[in-house]
Structures are given as C-alpha cells and as structure tokens.
C-alpha cells in the first residue's frame, strides 16, 4: 500500500508546489505592510548599512571578486536565516481504507489526507510564526516563540532605538494626545530622511486601545462625525484615525504576546523597499543552491515500514531597512 507514496504526486517539488498554493493568512502585519518578498539561494544574507539604512548585498561567485564596500561609514554584517520545521507522519492504517479504489483514485484520496495534514501545520504553526516574526521586525526586536531574542535590529546595526513615548490617555481634551501623536510622526519622518512614505500606522494592545477610545480628546474629535459609531460601539480589533496616525487594536496572542499589554507600536507604511522578507532554500538534496520558496513539504518512508514521515518547513527572515523609524508607545501611569 505504501508504494503509492512513490508516485510523482508525493515528490518534494509536488508537495512543495501544493503547500505553496494553499491560502496564506499571515495576519495583520502581513496585510498592512507591503513586504518585499525575496528568494535567496544561501542560508546567510549579507546586509550593508549606510547611514542607518540596511540593504541586502547580492551574492558573488565563489573564488571570484566580492562586492566592494566603500569607506564612507559603511558596515557589512551577516545574518543567518532561521529554519522552522514541523514533523508529522501518515501511517499505513490511515490509508488502508482506499485499497478498493483504482490506482488514480488511491493517489487522489491519499493526497487529500496528506494535504489536510500539511494545511493544518501551515495555517496553525508556520503562518503564525511568520506573522510573529514580522511583528518583531516592526518593533525592531525579533523574538523566538519562547521570548528569547533572535535579532535586535537596533544593536545589530548600531542604530539608536527611539525613546519610548508615553501617552497620557487619561488627560483632558487639551491637545496633549494630539501633540504626542505629532511627536511620533516627527520622529519617524526625521528617521525616514528624504524617503517618501504614505503615513504612520500603529498596532495597539487591548489596554492601550481601550484607553485610547475612552480619551476625551479623541471622543470630542469624533462625536460630531460619521466615525462616531466606532466610539459608541467600542468595536474591538478595529481601526481609528487620530492625530495623523491610524491606530488598530491588534488581534494576536500566544505564549509570547504579539503586542505587550499597555504598549503600541508605530511604524511607517507605503514606502517601497522599507520592509523585506527573504526566503532561503530548504535543507533537502533537491533544493541545495536553489532559490528559496516561502514553504516546503516532503515525505519519506518510516524505518519500521508503518508509514511515511511528513515534513513542512519554511526559512524566512523579515526585517526593516530603517530601524530608527520604529517607535514604541506606552500608557502613561
């Protein structure tokens, strides 16, 4: 029965092709920001810094000349792309019920079992992991699932992290909150230099959002407008435009919170090349020195002959090319 897994439908590239076509639901960080997705053929990327701006250096041939780096305060650093893999298996007993069907039907039925297993791991594990990484990229500190630091973009590239901004959302309607928003916009605009961008966006924790929509200054701005329904209804996980910033109550949780309580993260949007995700190739013989894909899947026979092992993996690294534009806000006690 296991001979069916020798069909072309279960090769590395066929499985990878199917997993790549599965619906990708990355979460809000993957939707709000225009990520520049780049495949690479290496496991390490060289990133050049010039004036606080980071850019990927193109690979060069082994044994040949490398990229030249000028002496005008340029810095070159290597970042290893992390590897994320989920291991599973399909046992013979799970597919023995398809013996009565023809060979083509057998392949289609077993393929459905494999696809369902892959889809579960992609949507419940890999996609949230990529979203969590991207949330780290937009605050400048990329964490692992256990809250340890994978990369601190500020310290990695010697860029000063902007001072955390305190929001006095309990203040009266005296323009203080709007002034704080203006300060955040000025900080980000200054860090962007001459590079244009569309605006400033913010992902807020539940506590920050609740305090924001209760603020008298915010409410006074909207009560006479159509958007007042947002304040009357107090809709969770919605957006609100105030002080030149789009605030959103971010929805995302896990063992390590996507947004820390009492915090809000501010970042620029609408600037090409500001946000990037690179994908390295999988660690399979078939994929060595090939350009990376967003996700991979493969299967191989179990040693005891009771089924096949199933693997799903991705090898991404997401980052911001101007970390100094990333501002964190907090509720003022």
Q: Which fold has domain 161-272+324-331?
A: hypothetical protein PF0899 fold (3.30.2320)
Contact 300, 232 (CB under 8 A): no
DSSP lists the bridge partners of residue 309 as 89, 300
pLDDT above 90 covers what percent of the chain? 43
Query: pLDDT-based confidence at 1, cuts 50/70/90?
Result: very low
What is the C-alpha separation between 220 and 123, in angstroms, rounded? 41
Read off the pLDDT band of 117 (50, 70, 90). Answer: confident
Which residue, 37, 53, 33, is CA-closest to 194? 53
Distance CA 202, CA 165 (A): 13
pLDDT of residue 101: 41
pLDDT 10s digits, 224-242: 666 556 555 556 788 889 9
Rounded to the nearest 5°, which phi and psi values hold at 252? Answer: 180, 130
> What is the chain's alpha carbon radius of gyration, rounded to the nearest angstrom?
24
**pTM of the predicted structure, to 2 decimals:** 0.83
Q: Determine the longest span between alpha carbons in the chain, in angstroms.
A: 77
CA neighbours within 13 Å on the CB side: how many for 309? 10
Average pLDDT on 252-277 reads 88
Query: How is residue 126 annotated by DSSP?
Result: I
Over range 40-46, report the average pLDDT. 87
Antiparallel, parallel or unpaired: β 263-269 and 199-204: antiparallel
- Which of 89-98, 184-193, 323-332 is least confident? 89-98
Mean pLDDT confidence for 261-284: 94
What is the structure's pLDDT at 69? 53
Inform me whether the pLDDT recorded for 144 exceeds 80.
Answer: yes
Give the burial class of 90: count Cβ atoms within 10 A of its Cβ; 0-12 exposed, 13-18 middle, 19 or more buried. Answer: buried
- What's the pLDDT tens digit per position in 97-108? 654 444 555 555
pLDDT at 145: 86
Residue 221: band (very low, low, confident or very high) from pLDDT cuts 50, 70, 90: confident
% of the chain exceeding 70 in pLDDT: 75
- Retrieve residue 291's tokens: 């350009």
Give the full edge-to-edge strand order of the sheet including 263-269: 165-167, 327-331, 263-269, 199-204, 245-249, 239-242
Does pLDDT of 271 surpass 90?
Answer: yes
> Which tokens go with 161?
């992290």
The architecture of the domain spanning 2-149+274-321 is Super Roll (3.15)
- Tell me which of 263 and 101 has the higher pLDDT: 263
Tell me the average pLDDT across 245-258.
84
Please name the residue that has the structure tokens 């304040």.
Answer: 231
Residue ranges covered by each domain of the chain: 2-149+274-321, 161-272+324-331
């Amino acid at each position: 029965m296991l001979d069916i897994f020798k069909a072309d439908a279960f090769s590395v590239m066929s499985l990878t092709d199917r997993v790549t076509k599965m619906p990708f639901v990355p979460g809000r960080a993957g939707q709000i920001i225009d990520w520049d997705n780049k495949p690479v053929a290496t496991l390490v990327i060289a990133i050049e810094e010039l004036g606080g701006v980071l850019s990927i250096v193109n690979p060069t041939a082994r044994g040949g000349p490398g990229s030249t780096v000028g002496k005008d305060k340029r810095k070159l650093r290597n970042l290893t792309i992390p590897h994320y893999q989920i291991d599973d298996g399909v046992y013979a007993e799970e597919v023995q019920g398809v013996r009565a069907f023809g060979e083509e039907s057998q392949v289609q039925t077993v393929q459905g079992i494999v696809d369902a297993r892959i889809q579960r791991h992609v949507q419940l594990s890999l996609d949230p992991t990529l979203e969590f990484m991207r949330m780290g990229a937009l605050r400048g500190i990329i964490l692992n699932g256990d809250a340890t630091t994978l990369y601190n973009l500020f310290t990695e590239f010697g860029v000063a992290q902007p001072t955390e901004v305190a929001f006095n959302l309990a203040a009266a309607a005296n323009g203080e909150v709007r002034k704080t928003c203006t300060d955040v916009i000025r900080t980000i605009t200054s860090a962007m230099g001459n590079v244009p961008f569309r605006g400033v966006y913010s992902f807020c924790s539940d506590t920050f959002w609740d305090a924001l929509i209760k603020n008298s200054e915010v409410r006074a701005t909207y009560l006479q407008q159509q958007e007042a329904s947002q304040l009357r209804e107090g809709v969770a996980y919605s957006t609100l435009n105030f002080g030149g910033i789009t605030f959103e109550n971010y929805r995302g949780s896990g063992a390590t919170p996507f947004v820390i309580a009492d915090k809000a993260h501010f970042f620029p949007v609408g600037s090409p090349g500001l946000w990037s995700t690179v994908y390295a190739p999988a660690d399979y013989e078939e994929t060595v020195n090939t350009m990376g894909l967003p996700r991979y899947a493969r299967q191989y026979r179990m040693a005891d002959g009771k089924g096949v092992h199933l693997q799903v993996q991705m090898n991404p690294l997401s980052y911001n090319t101007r970390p100094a534009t990333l501002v964190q806000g907090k509720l003022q006690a």
